[in-house]
């Protein structure tokens, strides 16, 4: 109950902050008008990297949520699909509505096998490191600081990246239990290291065992 209340409060708070407390959206509208008028400028690599890392986080969450969703009374795919356009706003409702479940029964289809594979974890990890390196090496951090204070899109997107880091531990323990990993030390090692902890976990976790459907 505490987890659910906390997630709903986080969801409402993020929406309220994005709509009413984040930097004004007028600057974003002006940039869009300049772009439509042909005054094109290449986005700051830091912004590109953050935008890409949001996509990486959706893939990271997919690697645990599709298996989780099979055992839930509500399907997970509408929320994952919504997160592609809205980020954490589309994902949090599923995390709040789901029941804690550490079991898995039945067989895995091709979709589940893909997201359950360590190879997928490695692919996500390599892509993530590429985007981080790109942002660090080529990014204009002074320009990003200016955008943080003037662009609602950049401001909210950057906060969403932090929220994704906070959300992963809420489903981590159930995913570990489905794989026979009962270790508090491992849980906290993954949960307390933002982004890199989940990436290492995806690359090294054992596969979920299949069983006959009941």
Quick check: is 64 in a domain?
A: yes
Stronger pLDDT, 181 or 24, i.e. the higher one: 181
* pLDDT, tens digit, 9 for 90 and up, residues 98-141: 999 988 988 888 999 999 999 999 999 999 999 999 999 998 89
**Residue 64 token pair:** 């645990």
Q: Yes or no: say if 82 and 90 are a contact pair by the CB < 8 Å rule.
A: yes
Contacts of 153 (CB under 8 A, 6+ apart): 25, 28
pLDDT at 38 exceeding the cut of 50: no
Quick check: is 213 in a domain?
A: no
Percentage of the chain modeled with pLDDT above 90 = 71
Distances (CA, A) of 25 to 34, 122, 149, 212: 15, 37, 11, 53
Percentage of the chain modeled with pLDDT above 70 = 90
Quick check: is 108 in a domain?
A: yes
Quick check: is 19 in a domain?
A: no
5: nearest Cα among 170, 157, 161, 168: 170
Q: Which domain holds residue 124?
A: 2-14+26-35+43-204
* pLDDT, tens digit, 9 for 90 and up, residues 56-100: 999 999 999 999 999 999 999 999 999 999 999 999 999 999 999
Q: What is the C-alpha to C-alpha distance for residues 180 and 208, in angstroms, rounded to an integer? A: 8
| Overall number of domains in the chain | 1
């Amino acid at each position: 109950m505490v987890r659910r209340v906390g997630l709903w409060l986080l969801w409402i708070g993020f929406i309220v902050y994005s709509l009413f407390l984040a930097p004004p959206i007028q600057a974003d509208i002006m940039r869009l008008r300049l772009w439509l008028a042909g005054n094109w400028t290449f986005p700051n690599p830091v912004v590109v990297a953050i935008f890409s890392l949001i996509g990486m986080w959706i893939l990271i969450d997919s690697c645990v949520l599709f298996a989780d969703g099979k055992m839930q009374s509500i399907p997970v795919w509408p929320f994952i699909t919504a997160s592609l356009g809205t980020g954490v706003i589309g994902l949090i409702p599923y995390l709040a509505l789901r029941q804690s479940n550490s079991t898995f029964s039945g067989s895995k289809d091709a979709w589940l096998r893909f997201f359950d594979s360590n190879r997928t974890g490695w692919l996500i990890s390599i892509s993530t490191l590429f985007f981080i390196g790109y942002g660090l090496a080529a990014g204009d951090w002074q320009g990003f600081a200016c955008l943080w204070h003037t662009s609602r899109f950049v401001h909210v997107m950057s906060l969403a990246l932090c929220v994704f880091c906070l959300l992963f531990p809420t489903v981590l323990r159930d995913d570990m239990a489905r794989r026979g990993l009962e270790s508090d030390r491992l849980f906290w090692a993954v949960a307390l290291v933002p982004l890199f902890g989940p990436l290492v976990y995806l690359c090294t976790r054992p596969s979920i065992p299949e069983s006959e459907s009941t």
